[in-house]
Amino acid sequence: MLTLLHNRGFRLLLAGQFLSLVAPWCQRTMVLIWVYALTKSGTGVSLMGLSEAVPMLLLAPVAGVFVDRWDRGRTMTVVVVVQALLLLPLLLVHGASDFWLILAVTLAISAASQFFQPAAAAALPAIVGLEEIGQANGLLQISNSVVPIIAPGLAALLFAALGPHKEVLLLGGIYLLAVPVLARVPAPRPDLAAGAAPAFIGEMAAGLRYVLASRLIRSVMLVAFIALLGIGGLSVLDVVFVTRALHAPTADVGILLTASGAGQLSGGLLVSALAKRLDRHYHRLLGLSIVLAGAGTVLYSQMPAMAWAAGVLFVSGAIFPFLIVAFITLVQRATDNAFLGRVMSLVTMCMSVASILSLTASGSLTDLFGVRQVIAGGGAILVVSGIVGLFVVRSGPMLPPAGEGIAADHGAAPDVAARAPAVVGASE
C-alpha cells in the first residue's frame, strides 16, 4: 500500500478522482430531491435515472474510441470543466413545468461522464502496473467511498438551507477544484495509438472483436447485465422509499445514502487490506459479493424504520467495494492497454442497456405495486446474477510475464490465441 502511495501518478489520480466525484454525488442527490418535490412521482425520479443511463448506451462505444486516442489525463480534465458549465441551465428551473430542463441537464452531464469513466479506468494500469492493480482499485474504492458519506447529507442540507439555485453554483465550483489535479495525471494515450490513425468504425469494430474474443470479459459482462436488470432502477428509489415506506421527509434520504457510504468506506478499507490475499480469487469474490449484496437489498426493502434501514444499508454498503474491485480488476487485467478505453466503454454500454430496462419498469411498478415490493424483486434478481457469476466466471486472467503484454494492433481485431486474455476453464 505504501508503495502505491509513493507513486506520484497514482496520488494525483486518487485525489483527482475523489474531487471529481463529490460534485456529481451532490448533484444527483440534489436533483432527486428537487424532482420529487416538484412531481411527487416515482415515475419522475425514474426518468431522472433514465436520463443518466441513456448516454451510456448511445455514447459509450464512441467515447471508448476517443479515450484510446487521447491523453487520458487531459480527457478527464476537460470533462469536469464541461460538467461544471452544463450545470448552469439549472438556474432557469422555477417550477414543475421546467422538469424537462432538469432532465436535459442530467442527460448532458451524464453524456460528458462517459468520457471520464473509461479514461480513469484505462489510466490506472498504465500508472501502477497490472500486479498492483487490485490493491490500487482497493485504495481508490476507499477514497471513492468517502464521497457517499459526505455528499448526500451535504447536498440535502444545502438544498434545505440555500435552495437549489445557490447549490447549483456551489457545485459548479466543486467540479472545478479537480481541474488542476487531473491536468497533472501522467496517463498519455497508448503508444500503439500514437503512431497511427485508423478508421473510426474500424477501431470500434476492433474493440467489439476484442471483447468477443475473451471468454472472461463476456462472462463478467453477462453477470453485470443480469445484476443491473435487478438494481439498475433501484438507485433512484431511495427517495420514494423514505417518503412512502418510512413516512419521513424527502431530505432524510441523505441519512440512508450516508449510511450506505459509511459502509462502503468500511468495506473499502477491508478490501484494500486484504488485496494481496484476494489477488487470485477475484473471480470467486465477484459472484459471492453479488449474492450477499442482493440478500442485503431484499432485507432493506422490509425495514420498518429509518434506523433499521440505515443499519442494513451500512452492512450492504460494506459489501459493494468487494464487488466493484473484483469486477473492474478482472476487466482491467484481461485487457491490453491499447484496447482498454473501448473495452470499458462496451462494458458500460452493456450495463446501461440493463439499467435502462430496469429504470423503465421500476417507476411504473413502484406506483403500481409499491416501493418495498420493487426493491425486494430487484434484490432477488441480484442474488440470481451472483449465482450465475459463481458458475460462469471460473477463473481470473493470468498476468503476463514481467516486461510482456498482449500484442494488440490498434486498428484490427485481436487474434484469439495470441491476444485474448488467458482464461482457464476450471477453478485453480
What domain count does the chain have?
Answer: 1
403: left (phi over 0), alpha (psi -120 to 50) or beta: left
CATH assignment of the domain containing 298: 1.20.1250.20
Instruction: Please name the residues in contact with 304: beta carbons below 8 A apart, sequence gap of 6 or more.
Output: none
- 193 located within any domain: no
- 208 located within any domain: yes
Locate 139 and state its grid cell. 485504495
- What's residue 424's pLDDT? 29
Per-residue DSSP letters for 133-197?
HHHHHHHHHHHHHHHHHHHHHHHHHHHHHH-HHHHHHHHHHHHHHTHHHHTT---PPPHHHHT--
- 349 located within any domain: yes
Regions of the chain with pLDDT less than 50: 193-195, 399-428
Locate 31 and state its grid cell. 436533483
Is 414:420 a contact under the CB 8 Å cutoff? Answer: yes
- 187 located within any domain: no
Per-residue DSSP letters for 365-400?
HHHHH-HHHHHHHHHHHHHHHHHHHHHH---PPPPP
For residue 403, give its domain range.
2-180+199-419
- What's residue 397's pLDDT? 61
Is 368:242 a contact under the CB 8 Å cutoff? Answer: no
For residues 48 and 31, what is the distance between their CA atoms, to the nearest angstrom?
8
- 297 located within any domain: yes
- What's residue 191's pLDDT? 63
- 426 located within any domain: no
- 269 located within any domain: yes
- What's residue 197's pLDDT? 52
- 188 located within any domain: no
